């Protein structure tokens, strides 16, 4: 019997072509769409989580001649992703909901369900590769490793860095060796209606991209506080720390000769710290909540990405505790943000990473020098 694979079909072109390619390779393909979030009955609400996305996925499955199921993951998605997202903003951090979804839902619960359905593998339309065997080419079997996609502009290895070797053993990424243009070409050639469907850019549960509106609707109370500079001088007020992120310039409501940027968010004192653009650049970052399959030596030159876009920056990593490490960059990087992920690479191979917890270069003792007004204290 051919191996059976459960393909996560989002209603977009990538997962559609992934299913098609696997069927062409001889797998027994089953399609499944995860209902993660529904906000009302509008067909266009929720991007990849919308009712229209389900219909697109079902249409593709029918075209390919494969069964299609809709799986209700709304409760676990709420607990593992949405609640995490809200709490991170409440604590003054900027979360990575897509990384949380991958590590807590797609490659855990979805994989478990696939096994219960008799599937040996799951597959998605992510742009990434799994390196199998020895990287030096001698044919020996080594640990599985996550690798960047061939299409560097679409590479999603950053979002997948928390995959375990066991999860990778049961995962297929059919698009990892393809350019996005080729994927659309394949979809058009076989007559898929989603061939030129635009990619979803927003967080699926915030389709209008208005984070502040969503967080307010979810019960985060906008607590006014002070906006200060690096030495503790009061410059203005804010209406809740959840409306700000590191590197932000617009929407501060401040008048200044030189542009000011958010440098730090202090939830304990309800403060927003601002300063010049030069102060955003940092040479050292502390990461926690580590995930490494192999631990590199401190002398190994690596590349680190502090956000999904870009090629990354050269660095060294030094493990300074049970679950923390200090990443030192050869050249300073702009606006590493607490709550975001830092992912380390050795060439195209993912080494590991963690969550940015702190950055250097900001005076930690400014809070005691602030003169608060009675109204904002």
| Interior/surface letters 61-92, b for 16+ CB within 10 angstroms, e for the rest | bebbebebbeeebeebbeebbbebbbebbbeb
Q: Is the distance from CB of 275 to CB of 263 less than 8 angstroms? A: yes
Q: For residue 150, give the H/E element and its range.
A: none
| Cβ 177 vs Cβ 171: under 8 Å | no
- Answer yes or no: 101 catalytic: yes
Q: Is 375 exposed, middle or buried (0-12, 13-18, 19+ CB in 10 A)?
A: exposed
The catalytic position among 48, 49, 98, 204 is: 204
315 catalytic per annotation: no
Task: Tell me which residue has tokens 């995860």.
Answer: 34
What's the Rg (C-alpha) of the chain? 22
Catalytic residue among 48, 49, 98, 101: 101
Q: Which residues of 340-353 are buried (b: 16+ CB within 10 A; e: fewer)?
A: bbbbbbbebbbbbb
What stretch of H or E contains 87?
Answer: helix 83-90
Pairing of strands 4-8, 121-123: parallel
Catalytic residues: 101, 204
């Amino acid at each position: 019997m051919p191996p059976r694979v459960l393909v996560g079909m989002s209603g977009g072109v990538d997962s559609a072509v992934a299913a098609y390619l696997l069927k062409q390779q001889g797998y027994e393909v089953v399609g499944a769409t995860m209902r993660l979030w529904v906000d009302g009955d509008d067909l266009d609400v929720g991007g990849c989580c919308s009712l229209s996305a389900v219909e697109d996925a079902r249409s593709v499955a029918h075209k390919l001649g494969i069964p299609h199921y809709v799986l209700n993951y709304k409760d676990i998605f709420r607990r593992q992703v949405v609640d995490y997202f809200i709490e991170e903003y409440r604590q003054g951090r900027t979360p990575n909901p897509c990384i949380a979804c991958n590590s807590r839902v797609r490659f855990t619960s979805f994989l478990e369900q696939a096994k219960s359905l008799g599937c040996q593998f799951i597959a998605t339309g992510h742009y990434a590769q799994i390196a199998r065997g020895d990287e030096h080419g001698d044919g020996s079997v080594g640990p599985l490793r996550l690798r960047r996609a061939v299409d560097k502009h679409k590479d999603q290895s950053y979002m997948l860095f928390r995959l375990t070797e066991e999860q990778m053993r049961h995962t297929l990424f059919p698009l990892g060796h393809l350019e996005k243009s080729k994927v659309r070409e394949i979809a058009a050639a076989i007559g898929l209606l989603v061939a030129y469907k635009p990619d979803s850019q927003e967080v699926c549960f915030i389709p209008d991209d208005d984070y502040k509106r969503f967080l307010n609707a979810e019960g985060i109370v906008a607590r006014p506080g002070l906006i200060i500079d690096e030495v503790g001088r009061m410059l203005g007020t804010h209406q809740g720390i959840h409306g700000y992120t590191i590197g932000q310039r617009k929407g501060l409501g401040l008048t200044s000769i030189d542009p000011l940027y958010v440098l730090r968010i202090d939830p304990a004192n309800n403060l927003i710290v601002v300063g010049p653009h030069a102060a955003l650049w940092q040479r050292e970052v502390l990461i926690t909540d580590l995930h490494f399959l192999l631990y590199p030596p401190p002398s190994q030159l690596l590349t680190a990405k502090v956000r999904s876009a870009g090629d990354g920056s050269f660095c060294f990593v030094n493990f300074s505790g049970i679950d923390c490490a200090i990443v030192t960059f050869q050249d300073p990087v702009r606006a590493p943000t607490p709550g975001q992920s830092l992912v380390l690479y050795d060439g195209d191979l993912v080494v590991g990473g963690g969550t940015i917890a702190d950055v250097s270069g900001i005076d930690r003792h400014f809070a005691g020098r602030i003169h608060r007004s009675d109204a904002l204290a």
